[in-house]
Amino acid sequence: MNCNRCGGLMAYEKFYSPVEDFFGWRCISCGEIVDQVILENRTRQRG
C-alpha cells in the first residue's frame, strides 16, 4: 500500500491510546496514519 500524501510505503501497525488500541496504516516516510475511522470520515466529508 502506498501513502496518499507522499507516495511512500505504508506499514500496518497496532496503535495504543488511553481509550483503546487499534490497527491502522502508518507511512514510513511522512508519518501519515490511516485507519478505518479516518477513511470513513474522509468519505463522509467528500459526499
pLDDT at 40 exceeding the cut of 90? yes
Burial 5-42 (b: 16+ CB within 10 A, else e): eeeeebeeeeeeeeeeeeebbbbeeeebebeeeeeeee
User: Is it the case that residue 44 has pLDDT exceeding 80?
Assistant: yes
Amino acid 45: pLDDT = 87
Q: For 4-35, what is each residue's pLDDT tens digit?
A: 999 999 999 999 999 999 999 999 999 999 99
Q: How confident is the model at residue 47 (pLDDT cuts 50, 70, 90)?
A: low
